[in-house]
Structure 1
């Protein structure tokens, strides 16, 4: 049976949620019961630190106090009297367990609460005396009507139920993980503490002293569990930074402090209740620092920490600054325990977002601005406390001086931090356009445009990695892995580029990066489409010219090959016609060609010319060249260059031997033409039409030419290297 229920609990989400709801609702039901057990006069009060008493803030209609004409809102209550005793109403009577600096003061306040409890529960009339000398006599009701419970209590109670439910949902979403388990424990613990808080703090004038001691201990225990859950989350998530021994040692320390508050073994330094929370906060700061150092190379973990620590450090830091420190120094706190309670509730939203890593790419800049806002406000408050405490200035003058001092420190520091820690992508699209234009407008072919697009992405986002991945059906720019990746289509849209780690992994991508990439992609595609349209127009015009050459000049050469009387003239006309046809054919080609086929044609033509000149030809090609491809334009220019070199050799050197060697050169081709005969050193040459034409063709194919003269052997060697552009 035990195994069955355990299996049902961990496998049925509905049972898990139901049990959580029952526990949390039951705790808040007990809190409502405790509130109803208070004696009721219908008077709402708040502490007045200036006078040391309490001030009336409201009187409930229909209550015992509503029938007293001597009581009205704004009066200060000084004493509560019965026929047998008189009890002073002090401003610190309702949060004695929070504000008492030592056990002696706590005992005095508990003794006061005992007297008030007896006075309000003995069914006798009581007399309330105000500071202006008025007296009002009334008989309190034994129990508080449920309708007179303050409205904010009805807002807090559902929140105390919601917190463990949120933890349960996160646990179901990420079951059996340490961070979700401790988040659930934190929700249950704070639901328990919230119920205790409502009874202790929302009571009217007093509460059973025995209840105060019991609820204080229970609240302290629930805060101990909450603090341990927070420290465990910070220690193990998103990565482990301390060992289990350190966590257990800290748990033992804080448990000892909590038990010491209950059993009163020794007086805690500074403050009997607040000291343990100062220790907790110092430990959280230390663990946060360790986590931050461990996440320097992981932007997702770093932003996760930013969300988690912002949601923890800011509320707890403000609570310590605005409540704990002034209370410890014996000054009036800037916020009430109720506001501090709401601060702590706000932590859970950040925990959920951090543990689920929900939309982290939106959190980085928002967290920075919020932290700076909190820092600015804290700086003003700290300066106000120091000026009022050390220089004994009046409140208004101290606040004005604090604003001036904080302004001179805060604004320069904010600008420095903004430039130092925040992403350097605040550059607008208009500011980046000149750099983008210089890169994209230099491209001519679709391949060059795509290379410029990749370079633009690298320059704009400075990623750790840029790799192509298959395109999905959507094809839009989108964020991936909580902003760790940015998926951007290529210019044709048939592939995606996955960019990882903005600014060398320092930051996550966000919505601003998506908008920037969309604008750049639209501009790049527009420029590429315009260039492609121009290229196609040029190609169409080239085709028209080639067809005209073929139809006019080709026809005339064909006629001449039949009409010329001399055989050598006929042969020259036929060779010219063949060159023209080859030029037209290659100029109209768009797809890569087999290099081996052209080598065979070039070999046949060169053999024919060498035999006609009585020259012995030695032609050598590597086998690997047969499988290589060459662009049509390169094939055409290379054929012209080979003819020009052979022509120069046969015309000027009258060689007996002609060598032609072809071999691969990395991803390119090396062609070497060497011959004997009447050769001279290249330094002695006079550049003519042949050399000028040769250089122009080499520029087109991006090739290089080197001529070497071997005087002792009487040979001239011309070596040409060029990259093979198959597209």
Structure 2
């Protein structure tokens, strides 16, 4: 395998060789030294241009040429059918479609024989017989610029596809794209050196047959290669290999069948003129459309969750339908039905060249465009262009309107029909998508704001959840090195820079693979990142101030109220006052503990609940039974708020049972089920119906604390009273348990 550098040099050498071949075909064809033009008003052939050496021989501009030939040899009358200027002249001068090409072949062969002689004679209407020595080369300036432009198109298609193949020579799509470029060269190069564009151009019959045959086979080959490209690009389809080989094997069979249909029995091979009918040469373009659409459909369904491949499929469909569609509709189709084409051949070739430019960009995965963003716009332009070009052709050809009148009608249709419909489509679909996305952004902002206040989840998790809400990525991975915000992997990924509360993240495939990331997503991420940091900064500042104020209150309670309660304990005259002071001081310690904002172990809460029950029942001469059902080795931290609220609820329930139940025994337990802490308290007293009791401050405080804990409470009064409240908590396990 050649290195890329050697491969490119070899391709350039081939391009130079093809260019030399192009020049040799032109220079090897005899040159008459004058040009003829048919005048409709007089019905004669008139000299329209003449070189100096032909003028010196006696031929002048305006001379009417009747015939030309070789002294002592064949002569031939010069007729308009020998000087055709467009493909439309074929139907005018050769009405028999079956014999059109053989007749032209015979006529051009006679002219080539005459012009190949060392000297020819030109007979004019004035009776002059002018002798011209045929030893002069055709000056390049006499060749129309369209010839060079068409050849540049052919060479550009070959070079573009060749460089793609040199980039990845083992890729099947690159190989078939190169075959497309070669096929296009085989079509356009003969068209460039045709009798329509070069005056008095009559090549050798072998050269003429070779040019026509290469163009005819090129039409079939470009269609087959184009379908094969889509079989392998952007991903290889199932059975792509046998289908591509079947299509390639079908080409020689197709050519052989058509050629055998033109075979004339009894004629020697050297005199056989084997050719395609125009419709037989152009028929493969229909295969190109159908094959590309079918293969692209399979590509679409196989790449639903691969946004880059799906976008490339759309790009391929656009490439194969837009340019060829316009060329086929306005140039090839009119030729097939004998009408004058609606566009020049050079424009049709330019439309076909656009296929290779677009496929080159797609296969090389150029970053010059974000396909996902612009394909829809490109389809709109292509669709609208085809529709209005078609309407213009129909109006001019069928209604007898002038070109100006047709343009005025189309302008009115654009202003009063197309643009309003396009705006309605935009408002109905595009705006709806934008509104949906804006709603997701708003919901993510609400989430960030709420979580920054409640802090029920970590800041890192909140940031991930917000990004998932906005972009719905298929994957969300951590970045292990610092990166700026930006799109990467041709739109497949979006890098989100780290902030003070979360590490960097990489989002893959936006909206579950429905689209690619773009620059607007980068701007949105930057904005969300700033808002996220600001909200959490504000919350941190608020919590810092809150903590500072709590510490001040805690110090004041400890230093002032605590000191006075301690003095009361030691100075009380009776045991009852001393006990009350101790209980009050214990509750004050609980409050001070809560104000520290330090988490409390669940085991400590269990111990406090037990001590609270035992102490309360001991003073009331009640029996207290405690059941700790927590599993061993469990490590659960409670927030100070949870710890204080649970103790106060238990204290209020104990107080109600002691005061109103007339019970002898109080039972209490603590248990855990998944992430729910279950605390129960029951007595064997008289019981009461909770729903028939007007709640006082005690029951009201219980309900308020239950709501603050986001807990649930049940009151059961079958035998005595039983109260169960369930508190949701975050559960973790220690290393011994795992």
User: When the two structures are superposed, what TM-score results if normalisation uses the length of structure 2?
Assistant: 0.81
Question: Conserved in 1, the CA contact under 8 Å of 2:45 and 2:66?
Answer: no
SS at match of 1:578: helix
**How far is the alpha carbon of 1:214 from its aligned partner?**
0.7
**How far is the alpha carbon of 1:431 from its aligned partner?**
8.0
Instruction: Give the corresponding residue for 1:716.
Output: 721
Instruction: Give the corresponding residue for 1:594.
Output: 601
Higher mean C-alpha displacement, 346-355 vs 37-46: 37-46
Instruction: Give the corresponding residue for 1:213.
Output: 209
Instruction: Give the corresponding residue for 1:177.
Output: 171
1:626-665 matches, within 5 Å, as: 626-665=634-673
Q: 2:701, 2:569 → 1: CA distance? A: 27
1:325-724 matches, within 5 Å, as: 325-359=333-367, 362-404=370-412, 410-411=418-419, 414-415=422-423, 425-427=433-435, 438-443=446-451, 444-446=453-455, 456-461=466-471, 463=472, 465=474, 467-488=475-496, 492=500, 494-496=502-504, 499-589=507-597, 592-624=599-631, 626-710=634-718, 713=719, 715-724=720-729
Question: Conserved in 2, the CA contact under 8 Å of 1:79 and 1:89?
Answer: no
Q: 1:662, 1:492 → 2: CA distance? A: 40
Q: 1:67, 1:109 → 2: CA distance? A: 30
**How far is the alpha carbon of 1:397 from its aligned partner?**
3.3
**How far is the alpha carbon of 1:691 from its aligned partner?**
1.5
**How far is the alpha carbon of 1:315 from its aligned partner?**
1.1
**How far is the alpha carbon of 1:406 from its aligned partner?**
6.6
Instruction: Give the corresponding residue for 2:237.
Output: 240
Instruction: Give the corresponding residue for 1:315.
Output: 323
Q: 1:400, 1:240 → 2: CA distance? A: 48
**How far is the alpha carbon of 1:286 from its aligned partner?**
3.4
Q: 1:458, 1:210 → 2: CA distance? A: 69
Q: Deviations over 1:387-446 (max 9, x none)?
A: 334334444434444555576664465456657876954449988776555444433145
Please point out which of 20, 23, 30 is paired with 2:14.
23
Q: 1:659, 1:547 → 2: CA distance? A: 37
Q: 1:662, 1:48 → 2: CA distance? A: 113
Q: 1:95, 1:535 → 2: CA distance? A: 86
Q: 1:275, 1:360 → 2: CA distance? A: 35
Instruction: Give the corresponding residue for 2:108.
Output: 113
SS at match of 1:346: helix
Aligned CA distance change for structure 1 residues 683 and 445 (closer, same or farther; 3 Å): closer
Q: 2:647, 2:426 → 1: CA distance? A: 61
**1:143 is aligned to 2:137:** yes
**How far is the alpha carbon of 1:69 from its aligned partner?**
12
Please point out which of 20, 24, 31 is paired with 1:33.
24
Instruction: Give the corresponding residue for 1:3.
Output: none
The count of aligned residue pairs is: 703
Aligned CA distance change for structure 1 residues 271 and 256 (closer, same or farther; 3 Å): same
Aligned CA distance change for structure 1 residues 117 and 89 (closer, same or farther; 3 Å): farther
Q: 1:46, 1:598 → 2: CA distance? A: 111
Aligned CA distance change for structure 1 residues 601 and 555 (closer, same or farther; 3 Å): same
Question: Conserved in 1, the CA contact under 8 Å of 2:120 and 2:134?
Answer: yes
SS at match of 1:548: helix
**How far is the alpha carbon of 1:59 from its aligned partner?**
8.3
Higher mean C-alpha displacement, 258-267 vs 391-400: 258-267
Question: Conserved in 2, the CA contact under 8 Å of 1:42 and 1:63?
Answer: yes
Q: 2:704, 2:45 → 1: CA distance? A: 99
Q: 1:326, 1:576 → 2: CA distance? A: 104
Question: Conserved in 2, the CA contact under 8 Å of 1:672 and 1:719?
Answer: yes
Question: Conserved in 2, the CA contact under 8 Å of 1:560 and 1:573?
Answer: yes
**How far is the alpha carbon of 1:41 from its aligned partner?**
7.4
**How far is the alpha carbon of 1:287 from its aligned partner?**
3.0
**How far is the alpha carbon of 1:80 from its aligned partner?**
8.2
Aligned CA distance change for structure 1 residues 210 and 554 (closer, same or farther; 3 Å): same
Q: Deviations over 1:340-366 (max 9, x none)?
A: 222222222322333344449821331
Aligned CA distance change for structure 1 residues 665 and 120 (closer, same or farther; 3 Å): same
Aligned CA distance change for structure 1 residues 725 and 541 (closer, same or farther; 3 Å): farther
Question: Conserved in 2, the CA contact under 8 Å of 1:269 and 1:275?
Answer: no
**How far is the alpha carbon of 1:60 from its aligned partner?**
11
What value does the CA root-mean-square deviation take over the aligned residues? 4.5
SS at match of 2:208: helix
Q: 2:326, 2:649 → 1: CA distance? A: 80
Question: Conserved in 2, the CA contact under 8 Å of 1:361 and 1:482?
Answer: no
Which runs of no fewer than 5 residues in structure 2 stay unpaired? 70-74, 264-274, 733-738
Aligned CA distance change for structure 1 residues 129 and 336 (closer, same or farther; 3 Å): farther
Q: 1:688, 1:283 → 2: CA distance? A: 82
Q: Deviations over 1:521-561 (max 9, x none)?
A: 33333333323322332232223222222222222222222
SS at match of 2:491: coil
Please point out which of 97, 100, 106 is paired with 1:102.
97
Q: 1:158, 1:350 → 2: CA distance? A: 17
**How far is the alpha carbon of 1:306 from its aligned partner?**
0.8
**How far is the alpha carbon of 1:320 from its aligned partner?**
0.2
Instruction: Give the corresponding residue for 1:133.
Output: none
Question: Conserved in 1, the CA contact under 8 Å of 2:307 and 2:509?
Answer: yes
Aligned CA distance change for structure 1 residues 438 and 333 (closer, same or farther; 3 Å): same
**How far is the alpha carbon of 1:106 from its aligned partner?**
2.3
Q: 1:637, 1:723 → 2: CA distance? A: 13
